[in-house]
Each structure stands twice: as structure tokens, then as C-alpha cells.
């Protein structure tokens, strides 16, 4: 399957919502996704197979720091490099606006996401016990770009 990666626009909101519903237990509402796509201090990147959005990633940034909020790829395409392509494009865009450090948090049992982040150069620097609920820790990662 041929996947293209590009910056998201307002016309991508419904497709992003569709992807969120497949892989995130508490998906965002439409207004939140619209804000993410339109805000000058946020970057949203989508993966597409033809016209269909198959994944997305977004980050917010201030000065030289950014934080990744969400990344989600359709379940049937996970493990095929889509997340890595999304991350690569996001990092390129963030570099172009002079971001030098990126932060994120991930649930400790999300092995696929942890593997992706570590392949992309993120390093774990801390954790928050029970952040997502009893026994569900958040691992904190950062990456210098």
C-alpha cells in the first residue's frame, strides 16, 4: 500500500476522528481536532492511502520545545513503518520552526509505541506512577533534534 505523508488541513478533521476511534480509548471531539489543525502553535501530520487517512500525529510547541500529544495509526497498518514516517515528517516540520527538544509520555504497557519512540531517538528520563490509573504508569521521553 502506497502511503503519503503530509501536513493536515481542516478538511482532514473527519478522517483524523475516524482514525482516533479505532485506536484511542478516549477519542477527542471534533472541535478539539479542528483547533489542533488550525492553531499556529500546533502541527498535525497525516498519513494517507489515496484519499483515506490512515494515521496522524500532532504536537504543540512553544519557543524551542514541543510536546507530542497523540499518534495513532489504523490497527491493520501498525508495524509497517507508518508511525515512523509520521514521526519523521513531524520532526522535520518542528526543526523548521526552530524546535530543538521534544517531549512525550506513553503508557508503560504500550510496547509498540515505546519501540517506535526509541527507534526515533527518544530517551526515557522519568515516569509517573499510576498516571493513567492504578498500576498504569506514564513513561516520560524526550528527544533532542
Q: What are the Cα distances from residue 58, in Å, to 1, 21, 134?
A: 23, 16, 27
Q: What are the Cα distances from residue 66, in Å, to 8, 58, 97, 109?
A: 17, 10, 10, 24
* pTM tops 0.85: yes
Length of the chain equals 145
| Distance separating the N- and C-terminal Cα atoms of the chain | 30
**pLDDT value at residue 28:** 83
Q: What is the pLDDT along the chain (145 residues), one digit of tens a residue?
A: 699 999 999 999 999 999 999 877 778 888 999 999 999 999 999 999 999 999 999 999 999 999 999 999 999 999 899 999 999 999 999 999 999 999 999 999 999 999 999 999 999 999 999 998 999 999 999 999 9
Q: Is the dihedral of CA 33, 34, 40, 44 positive or negative?
A: positive
CB 19 within 8 A of CB 54: yes
Amino acid at each position: 500500500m502506497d502511503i503519503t505523508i503530509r501536513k493536515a488541513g481542516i478538511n482532514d478533521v473527519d478522517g483524523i476522528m475516524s482514525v482516533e476511534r479505532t485506536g484511542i480509548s478516549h477519542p477527542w471531539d471534533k472541535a478539539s481536532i479542528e483547533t489542533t489543525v488550525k492553531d499556529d502553535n500546533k502541527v498535525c501530520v497525516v498519513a494517507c492511502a489515496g484519499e483515506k487517512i490512515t494515521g496522524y500525529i500532532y504536537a504543540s510547541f512553544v519557543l524551542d520545545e514541543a510536546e507530542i500529544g497523540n499518534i495513532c495509526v489504523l490497527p491493520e497498518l501498525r508495524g509497517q513503518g507508518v508511525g515512523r514516517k509520521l514521526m519523521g515528517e513531524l520532526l522535520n516540520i518542528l526543526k523548521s520552526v526552530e524546535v530543538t527538544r521534544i517531549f512525550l509520555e506513553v503508557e508503560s504497557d504500550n510496547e509498540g509505541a515505546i519501540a517506535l519512540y526509541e527507534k526515533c531517538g527518544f530517551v526515557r528520563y522519568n515516569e509517573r506512577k499510576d498516571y493513567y490509573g492504578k498500576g498504569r504508569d506514564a513513561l516520560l521521553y524526550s528527544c533532542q533534534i
